[in-house]
């Protein structure tokens, strides 16, 4: 393992490219899996389903990995600047490769306009992750950032259930409650902890201004998402909710 990670550290760009290709292979495998008939009605809906399926794979792997890293090495939370292990660096390589692959998938398939919110999120994430890979600083911070992937599992499942028009199902009702809980605990919690840490140690941290600026962009996006999520799943009238249950065609990737 240490020899592998040492090689990744010597060639961070190639490492990201390697894992981006591997996630593209996952994307190809997803195409071979059984797909709900309603999803196959049109190309856009089918692409959304494939994209979300790959995202769920990434979230399951990296979310579990990030939680395990924090539990096994609690110093991860105490030293976001310098601490890292071979496994945490490998996690960073894998996740950066996913985000690069996902951004490329959105752009090259012509869905950039409808998925611009994903791209606005991916750009600062890729830049921050690439900086950590190159300098080997803030690797622990990226592990904490990847705690959000615990919430991404339920968030992506929510969108997939909407795609098949299952917003009235028991699965959707259970998922929406779990989704809000994990959103607060893992997404908002990890983002605000990172913001607090960078702000509290601003005077001595490397490139603190750029990191804090990137975090603030993502923080604003997360708060807007949370407002839209709660409004859609808990406060929308039945008639309005039915109109947005995912069965209606839309060029926009993210709907309420």
pLDDT, tens digit (0-9, with 9 covering 90-100), for 17-63: 999 999 999 999 999 999 999 999 889 999 999 999 999 999 999 99
**Is it the case that residue 242 has pLDDT exceeding 80?**
no
Residue 118 lies in a domain: yes
Say which range, 65-74, 101-110, 230-239, has the weakest mean pLDDT: 230-239
Residue 202 lies in a domain: yes
Average pLDDT, the chain: 91
Residue 253 lies in a domain: no
Residue 244: pLDDT band (50, 70, 90) is: very low
112 contacts 119 by C-beta, under 8 angstroms = yes
Supply the pLDDT for residue 246: 45
Residue 256 lies in a domain: no
Please report, for residues 90, 133, 145, 177, 215, the alpha-carbon distance to residue 193 in angstroms, rounded to integers and kept in the order given.
23, 21, 9, 23, 11
Residue 255 lies in a domain: no
Residue 254: pLDDT band (50, 70, 90) is: low
Residue 247 lies in a domain: no
Residue 238: pLDDT band (50, 70, 90) is: low
Residue 176: pLDDT band (50, 70, 90) is: very high
Residue 183 CA to its chain's centroid (Å): 12
Integer Cα distance of 246 and 12 in angstroms: 39
Residue 112: pLDDT band (50, 70, 90) is: confident
**Is it the case that residue 117 has pLDDT exceeding 90?**
no
Q: Vertex 60, ends 56 and 64: CA angle to 5°?
A: 160
Q: How many CB atoms lie within 10 A of CB 227?
A: 11
Integer Cα distance of 76 and 73 in angstroms: 6
Residue 97 CA to its chain's centroid (Å): 12
Residue 250 lies in a domain: no
In sequence order, the 6+-apart residues with CB closer than 8 A to the CB of 118 are: 102, 103, 106, 253, 254
Q: What is the mean pLDDT of residues 159-180?
A: 96
Supply the pLDDT for residue 241: 47
How many domains does the chain fold into? Answer: 1
Residue 251: pLDDT band (50, 70, 90) is: low
Residue 140 lies in a domain: yes
Q: Which range marks the domain in which residue 100 is found?
A: 2-242
Q: What is the mean pLDDT of residues 91-95?
A: 97
């Amino acid at each position: 393992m240490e020899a592998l990670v040492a090689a990744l550290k010597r060639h961070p760009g190639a490492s990201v490219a390697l894992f981006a290709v591997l996630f593209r292979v996952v994307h190809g495998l997803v195409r071979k899996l059984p797909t709900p008939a309603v999803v196959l009605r049109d190309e856009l809906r089918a692409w959304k389903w494939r994209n979300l399926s790959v995202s769920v794979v990434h979230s399951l792997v990296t979310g579990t990995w990030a939680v395990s890293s924090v539990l096994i090495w609690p110093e991860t939370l105490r030293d976001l600047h310098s601490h890292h292990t071979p496994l945490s660096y490998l996690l960073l390589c894998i996740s950066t490769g996913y985000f690069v692959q996902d951004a490329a998938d959105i752009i090259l398939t012509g869905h950039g306009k409808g998925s611009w919110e994903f791209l606005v999120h991916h750009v600062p994430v890729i830049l921050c992750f690439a900086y950590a890979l190159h300098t080997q600083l803030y690797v622990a911070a990226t592990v904490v950032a990847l705690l959000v992937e615990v919430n991404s599992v339920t968030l992506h499942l929510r969108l997939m259930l909407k795609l098949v028009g299952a917003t009235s199902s028991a699965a959707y009702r259970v998922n929406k409650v779990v989704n809000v809980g994990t959103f607060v605990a893992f997404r908002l919690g990890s983002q605000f902890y990172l913001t607090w840490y960078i702000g509290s140690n601003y005077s001595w941290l490397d490139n603190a201004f750029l990191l804090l600026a990137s975090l603030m962009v993502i923080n604003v996006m997360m708060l807007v998402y949370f407002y839209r999520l709660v409004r859609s799943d808990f406060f929308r009238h039945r008639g309005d909710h039915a109109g947005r249950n995912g069965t209606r065609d839309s060029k926009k990737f993210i709907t309420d």
